[in-house]
Amino acid sequence: MQTPMAAQSRTVPLFAHFFPALLALGYPWYLASLHDSAADHHALQALKALALTLAVPASAFASLYALGRRSTSDARKVALQWLNHLTFASPPLFVILGVFLYLMKINGADAKVWVGLWLIVLCGTLLVLISRAAGASIALPQPRTAPIRVMHGAASLAILLVFLLIHLGNHALGVLGADTHREVMLKLRHIYRAGWIEPPLIALFFFQIVSGIILVASKLGTKRDLLGVLQTASGAYLVVFIASHLNAVFVLARYFGTDTDYAWATDLPAGGLLAGAWDVRLIPHYGLGVWLVLAHIACGLRTVMLAHHVPQPRANAICWIAIALGTLWSAVIIVGMLGVRG
């Protein structure tokens, strides 16, 4: 009798789900090529390097989608889903790795450490796959995630209203120049840096990281559609992005007395994100970070609508419209960060 995973392997062979992580091994070199070709004004070469850079999370997403379409709770499938969620989060992973190494005063070793860590992860995943028989189904626990989902949603709403909307709105003003951004930021700091707002806000972000990991884990092995996969993939990205971003803002910068303004975030006046060999990694990190946080919220909204019996086609349509608007918003932010001025 053919096992479910064996049936799947007819369409997408098992080893194909390793491809995104193997592609991720070269991530530092795609970024270096992006930086070098931009410096040499080789537009085509730069586009190729950017495409390779984005191919890492894109191929991981394709893999997650293929795995999510299957309803089997195969142990191998779950291991590959962990691997591909991690791969999808490559942009913030490479940033947090770079910041840690910088803080430890280990210079010029980012690519080597990156490859070493990925080889460990690949080896671990391979061993899990070897140790589990093909098609061995795992008894999926039936976690009571409903209360966690409600708390996660309520925390998102609080974060959005108190901070995220104004934070991302402020970044969109970057296209008008660093001075405009700074002027507005100084006013907004009265809100989110207020002594009674900032600590609970940061605590809420930590809560989102922990509850987010639990919610992603609870979805592995289950069958999901495209927006469902986008929800967990973006959630995994945000877990790493938020940890990396808070570490950069509070440890790398503020602790050492650096003002965390737009110039700091975009490496001005040194030349901008494309000009810095280190900073180029911030382009996919921030670009996808904003897009995915907005997409994640749109997917969360869809879940709430479905729970309130909104017909699925309508809930999906509203979700896609919100994602389209989020795409525009994040595009404005990233072009501003790359130096385009309106």
For residue 54, which of 263, 264, 316, 292 has the smallest C-alpha distance?
Answer: 292
Distance from C-alpha of 83 to C-alpha of 315, rounded to nearest angstrom: 30
Binding mask 164-203 for ligand HEM (x = CB under 6 A): x--x---x-------------x---x--xx----x--x--
137 binds ligand HEM (CB under 6 A): no
DSSP string, 99-151: HHHHHTT--S-HHHHHHHHHHHHHHHHHHHHHHS-TT-B--------HHHHHH
CB of 75 to ligand HEM, least distance (A): 32
Restricting to residues 267-296, name those near ligand HEM by CB under 6 A: 286, 289-290, 293
Q: What is the DSSP letter of 252?
A: I
CB of 50 to ligand HEM, least distance (A): 17
CB atoms < 10 A from the CB of 1, how many? 4
Query: For residue 39, what are the CA distances in angstroms to 32, 161, 173?
Result: 11, 40, 26
Nearer to ligand HEM, 260 or 316 (CB): 260
Whether the bond into 57 is cis, omega within 30 of 0? no
Nearer to ligand HEM, 108 or 195 (CB): 195
Restricting to residues 205-264, name those near ligand HEM by CB under 6 A: 205, 238, 242, 245-246, 249, 260
Nearer to ligand HEM, 113 or 322 (CB): 322
Three-class DSSP category at 199: helix
Nearer to ligand HEM, 36 or 198 (CB): 198
- Size of interface with ligand HEM, in residues (CB under 6 A): 22
Query: Applying CB under 6 A, which residues contact ligand HEM?
Result: 164, 167, 171, 185, 189, 192-193, 198, 201, 205, 238, 242, 245-246, 249, 260, 265, 286, 289-290, 293, 333
